[in-house]
């Protein structure tokens, strides 16, 4: 079966060739939605292209007649108005005129081969379904209606002949279509805008400008169709443009160093070329090829004047000239920058030169002064240099030549000049006899020689500070000699000597004197001290060192307390010398150590003295009582109250009861009561335990006068006792109110902010704060006291507070405990 009806045959050889070109028939076939489609037969569906068919059915026609079925019902098709023969002829003529290109004008090799069909499809039918139509009869459909659309538009303000919209901005004519010339893509043949769109939307089209520019550039290398010669165009470059180009290239060449050494293979020419940088590609010249010329074609013409070598040489000369201009400009700019730089360097060097000249002048003057000092220090000099004159010279150096003085080696200068003078100055000095000798001179030299930056904090780098070295090597040997001969019990002269030098001597030297020289002497003397045999009290030669040594004397206190305790073993309170020896140490020892010493060594002796006291209203001996009360300021109030409660008040109340039971004179009892109460100080009477004891005495007296025994024997006794009781109770109340007022005033003076802060005021407040944190009940026990101290319940534990210590009730006695242990026990 032949496939020539699908693929066509070659005219020369008759060989069937497949043609894949798009023909006019293909285009109209695709754009005609109402074309007649070919129905495959059963044989075609089975065998495909190898199916046999008749010659008439080789390709179905789009306009062929089909066999009519006369048995089908009649269908009426509206075809509009029948046109006359003249109108048909005019339409055919217009179709012929609308053909853009004639078939004869197209070269034969570009004409696509048409498919051979057996149908009635006419090649002249080129009009597309979407082609242009005449819009003269636009809206003519209303002739078959009642014109309701036109009426509605006129009611809404439409004026025939004008556009729609409020401002008649709508277009009047329908949208026009423009037929493309060829079969290329959109925009391939220039702008496709119609005259109507240009009129309605007068916008500059950038595509048109680009197209015009492209056509203009394209026409430059085309031959003039008129046959005339093109006028050559010349391009000029000014020197300023070349300079600017050279500066830009210089700026851009710096970051391109990294990619300069890159291997590049150029395959754009006839032969493969290898470059080793991108710059070689950018600077390559259009060198003519050495290959023989190609044979000229039929239409090619011989060139009358073609010298590519000359053109290349001229271009090379132009490039060299441009490079020379750019290089000259760069050299000129470099020279100008060099001039500016050298100008600044000259100014800077002139300033440095003037500064160096000034420094040389100052150094020469300093050298002259130093040489003058050395000359005057020679043994045979008529005008020897004194220490005051040397100090003035150093002051001049420091004031006028400060920089040179700071840069110089002051240590070596002072060693060479000042040290010999200082040795001669302190040659006959005795520190204990004249303690202030040389303080003013040394203070002056301290300001001149001390290195404030290095040694103001108390360092001891002798190699960097001349003053410290001066004090250590010149002044310190005299102090060592005098301390070695000094007796610690004669402390006055040594203390005065160190007090006068404390602001002059460096801190580390003073600490060395106190730690290495003074303290060992004192420690040795304390070890040999005996309080029973020595007539000089120890505090007389220890306490003067407290301002200077302070905590350094702490190791001496323990042996002193031990020696005093041994001396008090056989002591009786009647000996008042013990109080004179111990009283100076109360403020020196810590409160805890002092209280422990008194409780261990003094309180038992006072208790024994109170036991020996005999209370006799008719003949009372008060010596023992006075011996005890005399220690009130030495022992704590609680210790004194404990002694009175245990050794005095039981006997005193017993004597009162026995006196009241023997028909007494109540006026004498009242005087006896008031007399004993006046023996105690206000601080002791304010203690709750002492108040309770005196109130107990008043209660005994009230019960005695209330009973029938002896009450009738003395008229007015009951009223007198009642008045006494009321007076004493009122005094106690007033005293308590006054104390509360004083406490309130003190708290107000401390500040409301401190009271409002979370910091506890005392130990009781701290316990209360901890109890609140751990949800433990902490409250006082009403009416319960122990040794005058208020009892509290901390959870289920009974406690009392004495001088910042918590005491917990044990099985037999009260045990001190820590706050954390108390919290653990309560939980």
* Domain assignment of residue 725, yes or no: no
Q: Is 324 part of a structural domain of the chain?
A: yes
Supply angle C-alpha 102, 103, 108, rounded to 5: 135
Closest CA to 19 of 113, 118, 123, 117: 113
- Structural domains in the chain (count): 3
Integer-rounded Cα radius of gyration of the chain? 67
Report if residue 425 sits inside a domain: no
CB burial of 389-412 (b: ≥16 within 10 Å; e: otherwise) equals ebbebbeebeeebeeebeeeebbe
Strand partners, 817: 806
- What pLDDT is recorded for position 38? 66
pLDDT, residue 797, reads 87
Give the model's pLDDT for residue 753.
Answer: 47
Position 139 scores a pLDDT of 57
Range of the domain at 768: 763-826
Q: Which of 384, 404, 424 is the last residue of a domain?
A: 384
**Is there a domain that residue 233 lies in?**
no
815 found inside a domain: yes
How far apart are the C-alpha atoms of 680 and 652, rounded to whole Å?
Answer: 14
d(CA 408, CA 394): 12
Q: Torsions phi, psi of 274, nearest 5? A: -115, 125
Q: Are residues 771 and 703 in the same domain?
A: no
Please name the residue that has the structure tokens 């023969």.
85
Q: Which residues in the chain land under pLDDT 70?
A: 1-19, 33-38, 53-146, 200, 202-208, 218-234, 247-260, 279-305, 405-406, 408-412, 451-464, 708-720, 723, 732-737, 739-740, 746-761
Q: Is residue 427 part of a domain?
A: no
Task: Confirm whether 377 is domain-assigned.
Answer: yes
pLDDT of residue 343: 94
Cα torsion 143, 149, 151, 153: sign: negative
Q: Considering 360, 384, 408, which residue would you say is the last residue of a domain?
A: 384
Q: What was the pLDDT predicted at 715?
A: 60
Across 174-328, where does the E strand assignment appear? 264-266, 273-275
- Which long-range contacts does 362-368 make (Cβ < 8 Å, 24+ apart)? 362/401, 362/403, 362/404, 363/404, 365/401, 366/397, 366/401, 366/404, 366/405, 366/408
Whole-number pLDDT of residue 67: 53
Q: Are residues 778 and 698 in the same domain?
A: no
Residues 703 and 775 in one domain: no
A 10 A CB-CB count for 660 gives 19
624 and 692 both lie in a single domain: yes
If asked whether residues 684 and 769 sit together in one domain, one would say no
- Choosing from 707, 730, 745, the residue where a domain stops is 707
Residue 428 belongs to a domain: no
pTM score, two decimals?
0.48
- Answer whether 58's CB lies under 8 Å from 6's CB: no
Residues contacting 442, CB < 8 A, separation 6+: 471, 475, 504
Beta bridge partners of residue 780, listed in sequence order: 792
């Amino acid at each position: 079966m032949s496939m020539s009806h699908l693929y066509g045959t070659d005219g020369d050889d008759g060989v069937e060739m497949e043609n894949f070109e798009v023909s006019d028939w293909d285009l109209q076939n695709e754009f005609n939605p109402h074309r007649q489609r070919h129905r495959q037969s059963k044989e075609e569906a089975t065998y495909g292209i190898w199916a046999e068919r008749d010659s008439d059915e080789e390709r179905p026609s789009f306009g062929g007649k089909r066999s009519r079925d006369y048995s089908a019902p009649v269908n009426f098709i509206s075809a509009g108005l029948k046109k006359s023969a003249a109108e048909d002829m005019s339409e055919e003529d217009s179709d012929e005129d609308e053909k853009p290109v004639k078939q004869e004008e197209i070269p034969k090799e570009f004409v696509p081969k048409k498919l051979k069909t057996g149908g009635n499809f006419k090649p002249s039918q080129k009009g597309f379904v979407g082609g242009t139509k005449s819009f003269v009869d636009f809206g003519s459909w209303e002739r078959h209606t009642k014109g309701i659309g036109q009426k509605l538009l006129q009611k809404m303000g439409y004026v025939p002949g004008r556009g729609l919209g409020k401002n008649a901005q709508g277009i009047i004519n329908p949208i026009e279509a423009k037929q493309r010339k060829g079969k290329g893509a959109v925009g391939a043949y220039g702008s496709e805008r119609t005259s109507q769109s240009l009129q309605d939307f007068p916008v500059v089209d950038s595509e048109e400008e680009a197209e015009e520019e492209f056509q203009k550039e394209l026409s430059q290398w085309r031959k003039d169709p008129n046959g005339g010669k093109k006028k050559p165009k010349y391009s000029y470059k000014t020197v300023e443009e070349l300079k600017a180009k050279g500066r830009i290239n210089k700026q851009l060449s710096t970051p391109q160093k990294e990619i300069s050494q890159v291997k590049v293979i150029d395959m754009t020419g006839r032969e493969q070329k290898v470059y080793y940088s991108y710059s070689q590609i950018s600077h390559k010249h259009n060198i003519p090829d050495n290959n023989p010329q190609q044979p000229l074609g039929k239409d090619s013409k011989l060139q009358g004047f073609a010298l590519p070598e000359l053109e290349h040489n001229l271009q090379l000369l132009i490039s060299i000239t441009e490079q020379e201009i750019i290089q000259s400009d760069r050299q000129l700019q470099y020279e100008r920058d060099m001039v500016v730089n050298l100008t600044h360097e000259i100014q800077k060097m002139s300033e440095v030169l003037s500064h160096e000249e000034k420094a040389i002048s100052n150094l020469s003057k300093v050298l002259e002064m130093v040489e003058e000092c050395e000359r005057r220090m020679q043994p045979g000099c008529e005008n020897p240099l004194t220490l005051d004159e040397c100090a003035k010279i150093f002051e001049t150096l420091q004031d006028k030549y400060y920089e040179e003085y700071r840069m110089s080696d002051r240590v070596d200068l002072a060693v060479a000049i000042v040290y010999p003078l200082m040795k001669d100055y302190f040659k006959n000095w005795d520190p204990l006899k004249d303690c202030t000798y040389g303080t003013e001179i040394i203070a002056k030299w301290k300001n001149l020689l001390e290195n404030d930056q290095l040694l103001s904090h108390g360092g001891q780098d002798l190699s960097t500070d001349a003053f410290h070295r001066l004090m250590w090597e010149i002044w310190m040997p005299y102090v060592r000699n005098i301390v070695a001969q000094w007796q610690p019990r004669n402390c006055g002269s040594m203390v005065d000597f160190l007090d006068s030098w404390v602001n002059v001597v460096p801190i580390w030297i003073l600490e060395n004197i106190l730690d290495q020289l003074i303290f060992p002497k004192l420690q040795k003397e304390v070890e040999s001290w005996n309080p029973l045999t020595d007539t000089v009290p120890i505090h007389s030669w220890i306490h003067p060192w407290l301002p200077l040594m302070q905590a350094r004397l702490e190791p001496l206190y323990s042996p002193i307390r031990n020696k005093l305790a041994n001396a008090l073993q056989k002591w009786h309170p009647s000996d008042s010398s013990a109080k004179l020896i111990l009283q100076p140490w109360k403020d020196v020892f810590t409160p805890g150590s002092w209280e422990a010493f008194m409780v261990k060594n003094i309180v038992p002796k006072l208790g024994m003295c109170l036991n020996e006291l005999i209370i006799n209203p008719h003949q009372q001996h008060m010596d023992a009582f006075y011996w005890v009360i005399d220690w009130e300021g030495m022992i704590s109030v609680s210790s004194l109250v404990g002694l009175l409660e245990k050794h005095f008040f039981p006997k005193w109340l017993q004597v009162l009861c026995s006196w009241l039971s023997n028909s007494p004179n109540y006026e004498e009892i009242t005087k006896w009561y008031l007399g004993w109460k006046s023996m105690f100080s206000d601080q002791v009477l304010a203690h709750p335990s002492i108040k309770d004891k005196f109130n107990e005495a008043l209660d005994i007296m009230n019960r005695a006068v209330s009973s029938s025994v002896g009450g009738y024997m003395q008229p007015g006794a009951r009223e007198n006792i009642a008045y006494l009781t009321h007076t004493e109770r009122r005094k106690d109340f007033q005293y308590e109110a006054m104390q509360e007022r004083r406490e309130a005033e003190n708290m107000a003076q401390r500040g409301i902010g401190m009271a409002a802060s979370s910091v506890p005021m005392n130990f009781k407040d701290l316990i209360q704060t901890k109890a609140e944190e751990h949800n433990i009940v902490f409250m006082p026990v009403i009416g319960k006291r122990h040794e005058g101290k208020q009892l509290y319940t901390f959870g289920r534990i009974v406690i009392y507070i004495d001088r910042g210590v918590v005491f917990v009730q044990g099985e037999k006695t009260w045990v001190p405990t820590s706050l954390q242990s108390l919290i653990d026990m309560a939980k």
